[in-house]
Structures are given as C-alpha cells and as structure tokens.
Structure 1
Amino acid sequence: MLHRILLLVRKTYICLLNNSTYLMNLKAPISILIIFFMFASCVTNKELTYFGEKEGDEALIQQSIKLNEKPYRVQIGDLLSISIKSTDAKLVAMFQPVAAENAAALQSEQSLYYNGFTVTKHGNIEIPILGKLNVLGYTLDEIEESINKKLLEEYFNKAEDLFIVVKLAGLRFTVTGEVSSTGIYTLYQDRVNIIEALASAGDITTVGNRKDVLIIRQYPQGQKIHHIDLTSVDALSSPYYYIQPNDMVYVKPLKQKSLGTGTTLVQSITTVVTVLSLVTSVLVLSRNL
C-alpha cells in the first residue's frame, strides 16, 4: 500500500514540475484542499477511545460505580424465570408452568419465552395456583421474598425447605448502526452494561460515533431516546450505562463515512494523492487541447 502511494506521489510531482508555470497559480488552492482532506477525513484517537480519563477522574470513577450499583426494578414487558424448589416435589409441581421432568427444556430461549412469566401492562404476573402477583417496580429479591411469604402462609410449612429463585429470563436487546454485526441479542445475566452490549455486536466500527450513542428505551407511556458519550468517563455514572430489557442501541456514523475519504492517515493520503493526480491530469490535458 505504501509503495503504491509513493508511486502516485512521484508521478504527480513529475507532472507538476513539467507544468510548473501553468500550475503555479494553483498552489494555494491545492494546498488548502490537501489540508482540508487531511484534517477532515482522519478519525482521531480521541474519537476511538472509551472513557477518556482526565486528571482527578479516579474519585469520579469510584463514585460512578457506587451510583450504578442500584438493583434493577422490573418493568412492563419483562420476562421472568421463577424456580420453586422444596423437599415436597409433588407440591412444588403445582406451581410450575411445565412438569418437573421437562425442566431441562426451560434452558432454551424459545422455552423461556413460552414458559416464563411476562409482566403485563398492569404490572402483574400470574403463577399457577398462586394467581396474580404485582411485581412492577420491585427488585428480583423483593419478588422472591413476596412469593416465599405467600407460599409459606398458604401452602408450605415453615419446617419444610423452600427455595425460590427469580431472575430475568435473559436480557434481550437490539444493536444497530455502525457496529460490526447488527442484530437482536440475549445475554443471560442480571445486568448488562452498554460496553457488553456493543461487544456482543462486535464493537463499534472505526467510523462509528462513540460520542453520541443513542439508547431507545421502552416506557409505559412510549419510547424515549437517550444519549450517552462513551468517550467520557462520565458515562460510567450515566443512568443509561446499564441497558434494560428491550433497549435498542443505535450507533450513528461519523462524518468521515459520508465524506468517503478514508478513516486512517494512510487512507486519507491515498485519497488526497489520487484526487490531486486526477486534477493535475485533467488540467494538463485541457491545456494541450
């Protein structure tokens, strides 16, 4: 690649020498053109760096970590996986959406969709035998405690070993825009931050705008668009650093992509030299006509 660039530069230089008088008046415009392309087309290191730190940011990072330690609270449309276990297997089977022998089938995403518990628009889930339970705005631990209390009061003896686990049945989200692989992803984790979400999609491309990543989030009243600057350490304290179920992450393109001049210095030099060679050739041909 470098060899080809040098050849182009050499040819352009020879052409300029042979037509120096004619092209003398074009020096200033050509110089301006070169400078414009060099500065406008290259993607800087700052634009590619996540969480760029400044002096004194260490305390801010520690504070940001504490702010984001808040547990997730269940929203409308969430899909919950609820596991109830006890020494009385027959009694437990009454509260399961599928038979105990088919429990292994619950591990697939499709089975979780059909056998999980979806939070309705009224904020409820419906558990066999127990009936409706309001979970909107509650943490997973609080839902576990609520189910445990209701089962002990109505069906199980306190002496029996009752164990309940409530989890999100996979955190599903969409990543699109300037990433390596757009698509819908599901991560089986309690919490997923935006960097993990982008990593699932192969990370942001070189021409992706890390300064203004959009998060489209679902709310009872509709969708809202939020912005986060991933080049700043302030992103760690953003309420949108951790994504939520059904979030859509959109990465906008940088202006360098629309210019089409290349994203690295080598690519930009190649483009400038090519354009300059073309302009020179056209001017020389027009002079000889």
Structure 2
Amino acid sequence: MKKWFLVILVIINTVFVSCITNKDVVYLQDHGDGTDGIPVLRELPKPYKVQVNDLLSINVKALDEELTRIFNPVQTTSTAGGNNGQSQASLYFNGFTVDDHGKIKFPILGEITVLGYTTTEIEEIVKKELLKQYFKETAELFVTVRLPGVTYTVTGEVNGTGIYTIFEDRVNIIDALANAGDISLTGNRKDILIVRQYPDGQRIHHIDLTDIKAMNSPYYYIQPNDIILVKPLKRKVIGAGQTVMQNFATIMSILAGMTSIYVLTKSL
C-alpha cells in the first residue's frame, strides 16, 4: 500500500509542476536584476541592407513628369491605396527584384548593383546614374527607394502560422507575433528561434521574450524574410494539461485506471 501511495504522490507532483504559469506566458518581465522598468535601447537597429531576392519599389520624380514616365509603373487604384494584398501583387510584377548577382535591371540605366546597400544609398546611386546618363545635371530629381514592408514567416506554436507582411519600416518581434495571432499558451516564449538570411547563408538566433532584456537584443527588430519558429513547451510534449483543472482531470483519470488495475490484480 505504501508503494501505491508513493506512486500517487509522484504523479500528483509531476502533473502539478507541469502547469503553465505566468512566468511562462508574460512578455518582457523584469526579473529584479536592477533594471527599473523598460530599459532604454542601447542603439536603434542598423539600417537594413538589401539582400538577394528582395523586392524594391523605386519611384522617380521630376518637374517634367513626361521624362519620368518610363521609370515608374502605372499606378492602379489598388496600388495607389487600396487592398494591401493587391498592392503587393502589383509590386511583384512592376517592382525590381534583386537577382542572384545582387543587381536590378533598371530602365535606360541597365543593371545596377544594390546588394549590401541601404535604401538611402540606393537612392543616391540611382539619382547619380540618372543625372549622368539621362537627365541634365540641372534637373531637379527626387528618387525614392523603399522595401514593400517587412515580409516574414511564422510557424510552430502560434495561433496563425503563415507568411505575413507589415507595411512599416521597422517591426519588432512582438508586433510580428501579434500579427500572427500571438503565441499559443503552450508555446515556448523563452527560446524563440529566428532564422535570418545573410550574404553567406542563413543563421539561427535565439531570443527570450519573457525577459525585458530582449528589447536590447539585436534580434528584437525583425528583418525582411526572417523566419520565426516557436517551439512547444516541454510540458505539452509530455502531454500535461495547461491548467490546474486540466491536470486535476488527468490525475483522476490516472487514479481511476490504477484503482481498476489494483482491484483486478487483487481479485485474481
């Protein structure tokens, strides 16, 4: 009988320890290590540098609009300010894709190397080449180069896996996850994986979103084409419940099963 009692105690302890607590689900907690409230970012994220397969929107303006017509795609109603999905599709056909050699093909100017440059630097490169090859030096040109928002992928223990685009220049990882329906209750917020593209290949980074120090991480702000992977908590893997009541139901089921086995063995 003592053995059965010890087994029951072990089961109860294991299941209740497996409950998901506030420490597992609350974002940006201050763990009392001297940080008073939200920490000030040490530095803003560095400007994004264009990678292979990025899609660029380039617009050229001048006093004489006829001279710039060839450089700018026709603006449809959806592109000018309607449905975001249609705008994205339009840009896919009318924008400039960075090829495997880090170049784009621009009207009149031909191939331009953009790999490793920021959008501000590309604006200066395009403007310089336009003045050199097409416009007069005295022409008043205005060139804008933009990325079509931040496109990223979310998968794993979230409420809405998929590929998303947020039409902002800077997007932090919490905004990105909220846009995907947030992490489910059984998702591991303490070890989020970010797969990021670099010129020499992909790398995997880790960030703990339950710690307020995450705001100082270089991976707090996501980049275009990032993949965010959310792993399940270990307690989900072992099949434990998410709440005390669920765990209580699990205990009762186990005890009922053990009682049946005990009665059967005694009657034999």
* TM range, smaller chain: 0.7 to 0.9
The residue number in structure 2 matching 1:162 is: 141
Mapped to 2, the partners of 1:192 and 1:132 lie a distance apart of: 30
The residue number in structure 1 matching 2:83 is: none
Q: How far apart are residue 105 of structure 1 and its match?
A: 4.1
Q: How far apart are residue 181 of structure 1 and its match?
A: 1.0
Is the contact made by 2:45 and 2:221 (CA closer than 8 Å) also made in structure 1? no
1:263 aligns with 2:245: no
The residue number in structure 2 matching 1:110 is: 89
Mapped to 1, the partners of 2:162 and 2:154 lie a distance apart of: 6
Q: How far apart are residue 58 of structure 1 and its match?
A: 4.0
Q: SS of the counterpart of 2:28?
A: coil
Q: Which moved more, 1:117-126 or 1:247-256?
A: 117-126
Q: How far apart are residue 153 of structure 1 and its match?
A: 4.1
The residue number in structure 2 matching 1:89 is: 65
Is the contact made by 1:178 and 1:204 (CA closer than 8 Å) also made in structure 2? yes
Q: SS of the counterpart of 1:110?
A: helix
Q: How do 1:222-237 and structure 2 match up within 5 A?
A: 222-237=201-216
Structure 2 counterpart of 1:57, from 35, 41, 52: 35
* Structure 1 alignment gaps of length 5 or more: 1-22
Mapped to 2, the partners of 1:112 and 1:150 lie a distance apart of: 23
1:38 aligns with 2:9: no
Q: Which moved more, 1:27-36 or 1:102-111?
A: 102-111
Structure 1 counterpart of 2:51, from 75, 79, 82: 75
Cα distance per residue 1:65-108 (max 9 Å; x no partner): 24234222222221111111222111001222x3x454854762
Mapped to 2, the partners of 1:143 and 1:187 lie a distance apart of: 22
Q: How far apart are residue 256 of structure 1 and its match?
A: 1.2
Q: How far apart are residue 29 of structure 1 and its match?
A: 2.1
Q: How far apart are residue 176 of structure 1 and its match?
A: 0.5
Cα distance per residue 1:239-289 (max 9 Å; x no partner): 222222221111111111122120111111111122112212331243234
TM-score, normalised by the number of residues in structure 1: 0.82
% same residue:
50
Counterpart residue type for residue 60 of structure 2:
I
Mapped to 1, the partners of 2:93 and 2:20 lie a distance apart of: 46
Q: SS of the counterpart of 1:149?
A: helix
Q: SS of the counterpart of 1:226?
A: strand
Q: How far apart are residue 206 of structure 1 and its match?
A: 0.9
- Relative to structure 1, the CA distance from residue 59 to residue 67 in structure 2 (aligned partners, 3 Å threshold; closer, same or farther) is farther
Q: How far apart are residue 160 of structure 1 and its match?
A: 4.9
> Which structure has greater helix proportion?
1
Mapped to 1, the partners of 2:123 and 2:166 lie a distance apart of: 21
The residue number in structure 2 matching 1:177 is: 156
RMSD of the TM alignment (CA)? 2.3
Q: How far apart are residue 232 of structure 1 and its match?
A: 1.6
* Structure 2 alignment gaps of length 5 or more: 81-85
Is the contact made by 1:68 and 1:237 (CA closer than 8 Å) also made in structure 2? no
Q: How far apart are residue 214 of structure 1 and its match?
A: 1.0
The residue number in structure 1 matching 2:24 is: 47
Q: SS of the counterpart of 1:208?
A: coil
Mapped to 2, the partners of 1:240 and 1:48 lie a distance apart of: 20
Is the contact made by 1:208 and 1:253 (CA closer than 8 Å) also made in structure 2? yes
Is the contact made by 2:156 and 2:229 (CA closer than 8 Å) also made in structure 1? yes
Larger Rg: 1
Mapped to 1, the partners of 2:101 and 2:164 lie a distance apart of: 26
Counterpart residue type for residue 211 of structure 2:
S
Mapped to 2, the partners of 1:280 and 1:46 lie a distance apart of: 35
Q: How do 1:90-239 and structure 2 match up within 5 A?
A: 90-96=66-72, 98=73, 100=74, 102=76, 105=79, 108-157=87-136, 160-239=139-218
Counterpart residue type for residue 112 of structure 2:
L
Cα distance per residue 1:147-182 (max 9 Å; x no partner): 233334443456655322211023221110000011
Counterpart residue type for residue 25 of structure 2:
L
